[in-house]
């Protein structure tokens, strides 16, 4: 997903100037999350998705887990576009969706105390506020990174995914929670 191309595609769509590449460029606001730059990138996102995906699945449903992944990936793309709308540097990876799952869980943990989470390989059950705090630490690390010169990291995608996760968590809390 390239912010500049996606911004142009959205403008073309709203101006009813639809070109063949318009929908392809808009589709990348989700498909970017399915590809990674290298094995380390894939493994770090997989770990985040594993930890937060397991606990989201434990307290919601498979549908909410999938919906959250998709919506927070899109929210991550929007966050990156908002941070750097004219950037021609492509982004890829599930970091927006991974931090989105953390934000979703954070939102659920703020709404209600949740059961202790069982997340392998953590040796003991984890209190919901401890796990939610991990999401906050991740966002704080992103804030610190944003002020530095860590090129190659899509901080806007991280923030966009996290905020989207928080924003959709009340919907799941009202309509789909099993616990």
Give the CA-trace dihedral at 76, 81, 82, 88, to 10 degrees. Answer: 140
Q: Are the beta carbons of 165 and 107 closer than 8 angstroms?
A: yes
Q: What is the pLDDT of residue 160?
A: 95
* Residue 99: its H or E element: helix 95-111
List beta partners, residue 126: 117
60-96 per-position pLDDT tens digit: 889 999 999 999 999 999 999 999 999 998 999 999 9
Q: What is the pLDDT of residue 150?
A: 65
Question: Which pair of tokens denotes residue 108?
Answer: 């659920």
Give all domains of the chain, ordered by start, each with its CATH number.
Answer: 32-175 (1.20.1540.10)
Low-confidence ranges of the chain (pLDDT < 50): 178-179
Q: What is the pLDDT of residue 179?
A: 45
- At 117 the three-state DSSP class reads strand
Q: What is the pLDDT of residue 132?
A: 78
What's the number of CA atoms in the CB half-sphere (13 Å) around residue 110? 15
């Amino acid at each position: 997903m390239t912010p500049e191309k996606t911004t142009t595609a959205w403008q073309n769509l709203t101006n009813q100037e639809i070109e063949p590449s318009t929908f392809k460029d808009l589709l990348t606001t989700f498909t970017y999350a399915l590809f990674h730059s290298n094995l380390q990138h894939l493994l770090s996102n997989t770990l985040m998705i594993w930890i937060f995906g397991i606990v989201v699945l434990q307290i919601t449903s498979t549908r909410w887990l999938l919906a959250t992944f998709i919506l927070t990936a899109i929210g991550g793309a929007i966050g990156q576009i908002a941070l750097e709308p004219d950037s021609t540097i492509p982004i890829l990876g599930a970091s927006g969706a991974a931090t989105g799952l953390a934000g979703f869980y954070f939102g659920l943990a703020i709404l209600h105390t949740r059961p202790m989470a069982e997340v392998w390989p953590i040796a003991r059950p984890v209190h919901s506020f401890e796990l939610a705090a991990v999401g906050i630490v991740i966002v704080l690390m992103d804030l610190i990174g944003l002020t530095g010169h860590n090129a190659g990291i899509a901080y806007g995608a991280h923030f966009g995914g996290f905020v989207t996760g928080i924003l959709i968590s009340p919907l799941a809390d009202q309509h789909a929670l099993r616990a």
